[in-house]
Structure 1
Amino acid sequence: MQEKIHWITHLRGIACMMVVMIHSTTWYITHPHTISLLEWDLANILNSASRVSVPLFFMISGYLFFGERSAQPRHFRRIALCILFYSALSLLYITLFTHINVELSLRNLLQKPVFYHLWFFFAIVVIYLLSPLVQVKQVSGRMLLALMLVLGILANPNMVPVKAAGVEWLPLNLYINGDTFYYVMYGVLGRAIGTLDTDKKWLTALCAGLFITGVW
């Protein structure tokens, strides 16, 4: 178990660096006329490769809490302290360096974060709240892949509609709505993948190839 915790800690650190990479490269992507084509391509590749960071955080939480154990009071206290601390820090920044209405930010604190960067803390609370109720069963790799195909692609309401002969074929309407559904699915996926036997060199090479292809 200790080895898994170290592994998760390293993965969480990589995800943190990816978040920094996303924010660091966004300016280059949104200002293509002020930089060279090579610089834009490099920024786009780094930004695209780092987009897995947020799903990774939900998958890590799901791996930890959607199994035999669930989130404990100390985990909720930690999240609450993070929200309070970073909200206070954001309010200080808003007050000193921006023209954003501080009173309005405080009034809407329970509806949206003080600063939009803090949305993640509110979203991850759902994983913690559901953890006593959810225990993911062990499934085969093929079954998991089929579920990912249906829920992540064929029935994903965010995908571009596919129409032919006057009929809209995709996405399938399974009444999936809202980002929270997919945040929970990331958590379920993290736990499901964690129960699979993935210690195979060919599988590692295949996943790496698919990741590179997706980024490219």
Structure 2
Amino acid sequence: MSQGKKSFSAAIDTAKVAACFMVVLLHVAAINFYSFDDHGQWWASNFYDSLTRTCVPLFLMISGVLLLRKQESMPEFFKKRFVRIIPPLLFWSLFYMAWNSWQGERYGRWYEWITTLANGPVTFHLWYLYAIVGIYLFVPFLRKIWHATKQSERKLYLALWAVASCWPTIKVLFDIDVDALEVYGIGPFFGLVGYLFLGAYVHDVYVEHSAKRQYWLLSLGLFALFSVLTMLATYAYSAQAGEADPLFYDYLSPLVLVSSIYAFNVLYGLGARLGKSLDVGTGLPGLKKLSACTLGVYCIHIFILHRFDEATGIMEGDASSWWAIPVTAFVVFSVSMGAIMLLRRFRAFEYVT
């Protein structure tokens, strides 16, 4: 493997593993988010939640880097990539439905299980798998647009996407009674899919500046700044409402959108440096193995989190959330990663994890 490919591989794998841990940390932090009357616990929740809000955008940006810059036919794309996302969606949906049934929830006859599956996620975090199905349907067309446009044209699209994406947050924040996206019929052209375009664009810009250490440090500083702004904006808006309000946590809110750019630069840059310093024969396979498990960890971690919380009660007890949240996230992430690595020893589970 060449030095350039080694750096790219390590950069992508580092970003995927970090984004996966951020998802776990976010979901642990969210447990006490609505306890606004207990400011000590709530501030810890707000801090960690604000710090990790870029996790889903990061996954989508990584997909943009890996998918949009490739050249392959549409049949090849659907055969090699699209069909891979269906088995995990079905397997993990059925897994949680089976668990819920064992816990007493009823879905009815077998055909009602199919209806339930078709109507959306059976547990909240599986929304991402459903969203990926819709997003991937448009990847072949996005790829053609990517290769047919100049950087200036890509900038224009991203500028329009950013404005349209931020509009719902701005509309609520300033109490504007105009749904511009619906009125002008542009809603379907925007949304989370724009993060794929953003990821491919930010990657190209980063590669141009990757030799400059100041660029990485600036990205780190700006990521910290926009995470803090998300935290403070969430507090200010919640205090005004008199209860916890996640308006600024939305994946398409202005602060999260900008923060995602710098989070990507930080993690990609960290991974690229790691790739340059590691020996291909020893360091990278371990990182790649962790990266290969991230989808499975995303799917199983809620199950592990609930079992851990039931067994310890740490998040509902008197323990300080400042240490309880990261400790719980570390344990849940580690157990989830171990479980997925064990499952992947059986070939059949490689298709669903």
TM-score normalised by the shorter chain: which range applies?
Answer: 0.7 to 0.9
Secondary structure of 2:50's counterpart equals helix
- Which residue number corresponds to residue 91 of structure 1? 97
Instruction: Letter of the 2:196 partner, please give it.
Output: G
Render the CA deviation track for 1:96-153: whole Å, top value 9, x for unaligned. 124353554531322312323211112112343333323324526xx73x65454323
Which of 216, 219, 228 matches 1:207?
219
- Rounded to whole Å, the distance in 2 between the matches of 1:131 and 1:150 is 19
- Which residue number corresponds to residue 198 of structure 1? 209
- Rounded to whole Å, the distance in 1 between the matches of 2:218 and 2:116 is 46
The alignment's TM-score, normalised by the length of structure 1, stands at 0.80
The alignment status of 1:161 with 2:171, answered yes or no, reads yes
CA contact (8 A) 1:94 1:102 kept: no
- Rounded to whole Å, the distance in 1 between the matches of 2:17 and 2:113 is 30
Displacement of 1:30: 1.4
- Which residue number corresponds to residue 21 of structure 1? 25
Render the CA deviation track for 1:177-213: whole Å, top value 9, x for unaligned. 25x8322100011111111213133322332222222
CA contact (8 A) 2:158 2:197 kept: no
- Rounded to whole Å, the distance in 1 between the matches of 2:131 and 2:106 is 23
Displacement of 1:59: 0.8
- Which residue number corresponds to residue 124 of structure 2? 116
- Which residue number corresponds to residue 47 of structure 1? 49
Instruction: Letter of the 1:126 partner, please give it.
Output: G
The alignment status of 1:151 with 2:157, answered yes or no, reads no
Render the CA deviation track for 1:42-82: whole Å, top value 9, x for unaligned. 22111111110111111111111111235452323321111
- Rounded to whole Å, the distance in 1 between the matches of 2:226 and 2:7 is 30
Runs of 5+ unmatched residues, structure 1: none
Secondary structure of 1:157's counterpart equals helix
Residues 69 and 121 from structure 1, CA distance in 2 versus in 1: closer, same or farther, beyond 3 angstroms? farther
Larger helix proportion of the pair: 2
- Which residue number corresponds to residue 13 of structure 2? 9
CA contact (8 A) 2:26 2:48 kept: yes
Residues 52 and 132 from structure 1, CA distance in 2 versus in 1: closer, same or farther, beyond 3 angstroms? same
For structure 1, which segment, 205-214 or 55-64, has the greater mean C-alpha deviation from structure 2 after superposition?
A: 205-214
Q: Counterparts of 1:121-140 in structure 2 under 5 Å?
A: 121-135=129-143, 136=146, 137=149, 139=151
Runs of 5+ unmatched residues, structure 2: 229-353
- Rounded to whole Å, the distance in 2 between the matches of 1:127 and 1:163 is 28
The alignment's TM-score, normalised by the length of structure 2, stands at 0.51
- Rounded to whole Å, the distance in 1 between the matches of 2:178 and 2:85 is 42
Residues 184 and 163 from structure 1, CA distance in 2 versus in 1: closer, same or farther, beyond 3 angstroms? closer
CA contact (8 A) 1:63 1:194 kept: yes
Residues 154 and 90 from structure 1, CA distance in 2 versus in 1: closer, same or farther, beyond 3 angstroms? closer
Residues 163 and 115 from structure 1, CA distance in 2 versus in 1: closer, same or farther, beyond 3 angstroms? closer
The alignment status of 1:62 with 2:72, answered yes or no, reads no
Secondary structure of 1:67's counterpart equals coil
What RMSD, in angstroms, separates the aligned Cα atoms of the two structures? Answer: 3.2
The one of the two structures with greater contact order (alpha-carbon pairs below 8 A, sep at least 6) is 2
CA contact (8 A) 1:90 1:114 kept: yes
CA contact (8 A) 1:63 1:190 kept: yes
Instruction: Letter of the 2:81 partner, please give it.
Output: H
CA contact (8 A) 2:35 2:41 kept: no
Equivalent residues, number: 209
Displacement of 1:175: 3.5
- Rounded to whole Å, the distance in 2 between the matches of 1:15 and 1:26 is 16
- Which residue number corresponds to residue 183 of structure 1? 192
CA contact (8 A) 1:66 1:188 kept: yes
